[in-house]
Amino acid sequence: MRDGKRLVTDGPFAETREQLGGYMLIDVKDLDEAIALAARVPLARTSTVEVRPVREGPPT
């Protein structure tokens, strides 16, 4: 989030020299829902929030 607008880029992901402050594992129906949820994270206004798929498809 920058200036109240969502800023989305398609890779490359954050540099490895950056620190990982934590992670959230969420269950959503698609990438659009994941991005919308990531935009609501408070740190999205000042930092970077990455969205990465863990797996696709229904649970096995």
Task: Kindly report, residue by residue over 22-55, the tens digit of the pLDDT.
Answer: 888 888 988 899 989 998 988 888 877 888 888 7
Degrees (nearest 5) of the Cα angle 11, 56, 25?
Answer: 75
pLDDT at position 17: 62
- What SS3 class is residue 44? helix
Degrees (nearest 5) of the Cα angle 24, 26, 30?
Answer: 130
pLDDT at position 16: 56
Average pLDDT over residues 2-15: 72
Per-residue 3-state assignment (H helix, E strand, C coil) for the chain: CECCECCCCCCCCCCCCCCCCCCCCCCCCCHHHHHHHHHCCHHHHCCCCCCCCCCCCCCC
